[in-house]
Amino acid sequence: MSTENERIVNEFCKTWSTLNIDKVMEFFADDAVYHNIPLKPAHGKAEIRKVIDGFMPGTTALEFKILNTASAGSVVFNERVDSFTVNGKHIALPVAGVFELSGGKIRAWRDYFDLPTYVNQIKGK
Query: Which entry of 22, 30, 53, 111 is annotated as an active-site residue?
Result: 111
Query: Which entry of 31, 53, 82, 114 is annotated as an active-site residue?
Result: 82
Element (H, E) at 26: none
Q: Quick one: which of 27, 25, 30, 75 has its CA closest to 51?
A: 25
Pairing relation of β-strands 28-36 and 105-112?
parallel
> Would you call 87 helix, strand, or coil by DSSP?
coil
Q: Quick one: which of 71, 95, 96 has its CA closest to 83?
A: 95
What contacts 24+ positions apart, CB below 8 Å, involve 67-71? Answer: 69/2, 69/6, 69/9, 69/10, 71/2, 71/3, 71/5, 71/6
Q: In the annotation, is 82 catalytic?
A: yes
Q: In the annotation, is 31 catalytic?
A: no
Residues acting as catalytic residues: 82, 111
